[in-house]
Every structure is written in C-alpha cells, then in structure tokens.
Amino acid sequence: NAGVTQTPKFRVLKTGQSMTLLCAQDMNHEYMYWYRQDPGMGLRLIHYSVGEGTTAKGEVPDGYNVSRLKKQNFLLGLESAAPSQTSVYFCASSRGPGNTIYFGEGSWLTVV
Amino acid sequence: DAKTTQPPSMDCAEGRAANLPCNHSTISGNEYVYWYRQIHSQGPQYIIHGLKNNETNEMASLIITEDRKSSTLILPHATLRDTAVYYCIVRVDNQGGKLIFGQGTELSVKP
C-alpha cells in the first residue's frame, strides 16, 4: 500500500514551459486535492476533486488546470509556468468528509 | 469557512506535555476539528480529529470545549522528534471536505 504518490519529486522549468504533476493513490479514495506551499507559509488549496470526472477550484486556482479521468489519479497542469509558481506542491486524498486526509511527500518545482 | 487562530510559536521541555491551543469561534455544528503537523518540508502528517467529544489516540489527545469554540492538542510526553509546525484546521463539510490551512504553531521541543 503506497498511499499517495507524487511524480516527479523535483523539477526545474523555464518560464513559459508546461508540465504536469501526477498524483496517484491506491486507497480507492473519492476525494483528491492539490495544495501549494511557499516558504514560511501554510498550505493553500489549488484545486480539488470529489470524484472521477469532477474538479473544482480552491483558493489559488489561477495558472493551473486539473483533470481526474481515473479515480486513482489527479493531474495538476501548468500550461505556461511563471516564477511565481515556484513552490512545493502537495497532493492529498480522502475517502470523504469526516475521514482522514492523507498527504503525499511533495513535489519541488522551480521556475527560472 | 471557519478560521482558526493559533499562537505562532511555543516551546516545550522534552518529556513534558505539550499543550497547543486553537481558537475556532466561528465553527459550524457539523464541522470537524483536525490537527496535522509538518516536519521540515515533508508532507503534513495526520494527528487526530474530533467533532464534539474529546479524542485520544496513540499520538495525542484532543480536548474540545463544550461550546466548540476552542480546542487543545496535547502531546503527553514530548520528544525532540515532535518539533514541527502544528496546524489546527476546521474541515469544511461541503465543498469536497477540504482543509484550509492557517499559519500553524511552530513547536520547539528542547532538551
């Protein structure tokens, strides 16, 4: 049982490049989330999903897109990366409200 | 969304109980209080959660006041490895049950 796995763990992008972060969970969870964390700050919610084929905006959705084509995967895309998107990205999943939310180990993204 | 207020930092002596307070005066009746901690830049680690009653597990105890406007996380015998940022979060029941993080409390356990 791997829990929540994020790929890649580290990436350096040039401004304007695109990339996709993959989050995979093997716990058959309905709910999945993408957060970002900037230095010295708490986590901020980017987008979330309450089931396969559904997505919704969080606190800071601009500049990101997401897709949940399969229940176990939640993809976070940056279409045109900007230096302001340099951050640590965390994925999380949960069975539903009232249940524990489990986090991945993070993906470090630097945009130069 | 209900917000939480925590002290920015606290110290605790190793082996003593660490009591971390949290204020959530605007909490709604069906919203849970969750506690997570984050060590360095690792992924947040779940500690405990509760709705109305006090809760205890192998890591900690959660004391929620009767009016639910505040709570306290208790680490009964703090160790150096408990040094971390602790987040008290009121979980929104709708909108995907999302967690909205505040700034947390930076707990330093000292020898």
pLDDT single digits (tens) B46-64: 999 999 989 999 999 999 9
Predicted local distance difference test score (pLDDT) of residue B76: 96
Under 8 Å CB-to-CB from B40, ≥6 apart: which residues?
none
Whether the upstream peptide bond of residue A8 has omega within 30° of 0, thus cis, is yes
Predicted local distance difference test score (pLDDT) of residue A2: 65
Is the per-residue pLDDT at A70 higher than 60?
Answer: yes
Contact residues on chain A for B93, CB-CB shorter than 8 A: 97-98
Task: Chain A: give the shortest CA distance to residue B2, in Å.
Answer: 14
What is the maximal distance between C-alpha atoms in chain A?
40
What parts of chain B have a pLDDT lower than 50?
none
A56 contacts B43? CB cut-off 8 A: no
A31 contacts B96? CB cut-off 8 A: yes
- Measured from the Cβ of residue B7, the count of other Cβ atoms closer than 10 Å reads 14
Predicted local distance difference test score (pLDDT) of residue B98: 77
Q: Which residues pair with B46 in a beta bridge?
A: B36
Which of A41, A98, A103 faces B44 most closely, judged by CB atoms?
Answer: A103
Look-up of token digits 């999945």: A32
Round to whole Å and give the CA distance between A74 and A70: 8
Under 8 Å CB-to-CB from A54, ≥6 apart: which residues?
A68
Split at pLDDT 50, 70, 90, the class of A60 is: very high
Strand spans (E) along B1-111: 9-13, 18-23, 32-38, 45-50, 55-56, 61-64, 70-75, 84-91, 105-110
Q: Which residues pair with B33 in a beta bridge?
A: B50, B90
A33 contacts B99? CB cut-off 8 A: yes
A98 contacts B43? CB cut-off 8 A: no
Mean pLDDT across A32-52: 92
Tokens of B34: 């969750």
Mean pLDDT across A57-74: 96
B104 contacts A42? CB cut-off 8 A: yes
Please, what's the b/e burial string for B27-51 (b: 16 or more CB within 10 A of its CB; e: otherwise)?
A: beeebbbbbbbbeeeebbebbbbbe
Contact residues on chain B for A43, CB-CB shorter than 8 A: 44, 99, 101
A106 contacts B42? CB cut-off 8 A: yes
| Residue B23 sits at the chain A interface (C-beta within 8 Å) | no
Predicted local distance difference test score (pLDDT) of residue B65: 95
